[in-house]
Amino acid sequence: MATVVWSCSPTVQGKMTEKEATLQDQLIVNDPGPSFLISATQAVFMPPMLKWQDWDYSPLWVKKPQPISKALPKDWQTRVHFDNSMGRSRALVRFPQGTDLYGQGEVFGDLQRNRTKIGIWNTDNFGYGTDGGKRLYQAHPWMMGVREDGTAFGIIADTTWRSTLEATDTEIIFDSEGPVFPIIVIEGKSPQSVLTQLSERIGTMALPPLWSLGYQQSRFSYETAEKGLNIAREFRRRKIPADVIWMDIDYMDGYRVFTIDKERFPDPMAYSKALHEMNFKGVWMIDPGVKADPGYFVFQSGNANDVWVKKPDMKTDFVGPVWPGDCKFPDFTREETRIWWAGLYKDFMQKNGVDGIWNDMNEPAVFNSPGHTMPVNNYHRGDAQLQPGPHVQYHNIYGMLMMSATLDGMQAAQPDKRPFLLSRANFLGGHRYGATWTGDNFSTEEHMKMSIPMTLNMGMSGQPFNGPDLGGFGNNASPELFEQWVSFGVFFPFTRAHACKGTNQKEPWAFGPGVEEVARTAIQRKYRLIPYYYTLFRQSSKNGQPIMKPTFFADPADRKLRDEQTTFLVGEDLLVIPTFAKNPDLPAGNWLPVTLLEGGKDANDRQATLKVRPGAIIPLGAEVQSTVEPMLETTTLIVNLDEHGKAQGELYQDAGDGYGYTTGDYNLTRYHAESTPDGVRISSRIVEGNRPTATRKLIVRLLTPQGEKTAETIPGQDIVVK
């Protein structure tokens, strides 16, 4: 949701008034300070003026690293130097020429991040217009480098303070307004290895509910229950698969969080039940700003519990305007506040049938204020883990701490369901609490094309469950733009179309029958692939790998792939080539094209091209209208043999929700194909879990350069394709 004005035109953007932190012309390199191994391939570099025992708690860690040795290996490649002068703290990392850089979290621009400089400062940035998009809604003090030979390293700056992150072709420079901070260096034989090690430090995402992988429709706003239900009915009537309808702020009573407008939504539980009867879920927005209304129960409770962020005098509650007017803001650095906030969700979710939560405006955004946020010298009181400090110290983790409290409340409200939480603001490590999206983009060709490298760099920064607003949030989308965007955008991990108030409708049928058919076909393709995606999400919950990966991950040593950003991988096995990609650099090998729908109706120049990696087996489900429908009774295997005549793949199954999978109520089936003198033998075996497979019939589609060969069998019974 935009915070500048009600209109969503780029000509009315607010201008940045708060000066961005800048680097000095010359970085002074001091004593590099002590270093410690924390694993065989990970090291912590400490500034000389910081002792290990004085290294404060950071919310990005699952567990604070512990030293195992003071001596680095003789062949350790990446070292760090520190400087603390002129009121700023800096760290410099040097690396060899020819290294390509990635990461930086949520950034607008090209996939490669060499020769860039960004602000690490969560910013409400409508249309990415403020500061040229160099500061967006999330902060990730992280970069990954891939050397010429394909080996890689990652760099974490453990500071939450406002900072800048600059990258040249030989240096990475973190420059912070806060006290000195350590740098963690991760070394790996590949970028995938580095990302798995990153997840060991900052955690992995929890396995989300299956429904959250489906197509989702939002608008600012579907103002009434009837509008929301009509959107759901249209999806079902037109046979366009979808799983979620979103409720933006207009459902609230005067934008008061945890309330519902009884005229617009007279019976919210009946509304939710009606969505559920059509196999839809509902996600509802909650912002951090609490209207300063003496008669409002949340405000009263917050005052009684003294939960608010303070002004610089450390006593007076800060008040700032957001959608409801003057608001107070919870101080999420305090455990007591987080417990209070979590407690607000029980009645809200249980009494209204709420399925998911959307935390927005949590940079935090404040209207009519420098930088669109609260003053940097506001005061946070902290708790046993977080020390008291100014807002400039805690601004970047405000949204992450809000997510943590929200998740606690959701789990307490619905203990038998997996929560789905989406947040606009976040910090490195915040993927543990929920998904994110890339904020208030525009309906432009540039933003459409940039949505690919933006999502890829988020994945390479430890945030696998993310994606853009398909079709663009601000401005009117043309039929051609929406068609192109949805044709490849359905393959993002988070797949939601969204539109701002004052712009044209952006439902799949809003652009006429031709675009509707393209959108329907694209979404149907995604739904056939949901079993594959769900398997990838399960893998990511264990190893931290992105769901959507840059094409160069197919061969990190192939230099020509390093800046390829018009195509992308889903997992390791599926390559997506959008319709706008002209002569892209593609990985070597016999990647074969595949259609997913009956009769090959998705084989046309208005759909993204899909190719399967040699050596891969990709499971497909049935064509369904939502994830509630059974999709695996007939499972189709797409098989592409490698140069050795072999292929393999996996399929993960569980109940799709709940936590039975943690005690064995799941199954992992492994598929294997091998060329033999009699033909290609395909086998399937359950290798993990106690849950019976939902599959009753297996259809094998063997891809060859001469065309497809097909066969049928049942799970556990080998079959030979002649």
Q: What b-and-e string marks burial along 439-454, b requiring 16 or more CB atoms within 10 Å of the CB?
A: bbbbbbeebbbbbbbb
Bridge partners of residue 326, in order along the sequence? 321
Query: Catalytic pick from 83, 360, 507, 650?
Result: 360
The whole-angstrom separation of Cα 616 and Cα 439 is 34
The answer to whether residues 613 and 591 touch, using CB atoms and an 8 Å cutoff, is yes
Cβ count within 10 A of residue 34: 16
What pTM was estimated for this model as a whole?
0.95
**Strand arrangement, sheet containing 574-577:** 548-550, 568-570, 574-577, 609-612, 592-593
Give the pLDDT confidence score for residue 86 in this predicted structure.
Answer: 76
The answer to whether residues 230 and 260 touch, using CB atoms and an 8 Å cutoff, is no
Task: Flag residues of the chain having pLDDT under 70.
Answer: 1-33
Query: Catalytic pick from 100, 106, 166, 363?
Result: 363
For residue 545 the two structure tokens come to 């790998």
Task: Give me the amino acid identity at 633.
Answer: E
Rounded to whole angstroms, the maximal C-alpha distance in the chain is 82
For residue 547 the two structure tokens come to 């769901």
Give the pLDDT confidence score for residue 20 in this predicted structure.
Answer: 35
The answer to whether residues 205 and 547 touch, using CB atoms and an 8 Å cutoff, is no
**Residue 166 among the catalytic residues:** no
Distance in angstroms between the alpha carbons of the first and the last residue of the chain: 56
**Residue 158 among the catalytic residues:** no
- Whose tokens are 């932190």? That residue is 21
Give the pLDDT confidence score for residue 217 in this predicted structure.
Answer: 98
**Residue 602 among the catalytic residues:** no
Give the pLDDT confidence score for residue 194 in this predicted structure.
Answer: 98
Query: Catalytic pick from 440, 483, 573, 657?
Result: 440
Who contacts 664 (Cβ-Cβ below 8 Å, separation ≥6)? 689, 690, 691
Give the pLDDT confidence score for residue 56 in this predicted structure.
Answer: 87
Give the pLDDT confidence score for residue 634 in this predicted structure.
Answer: 98
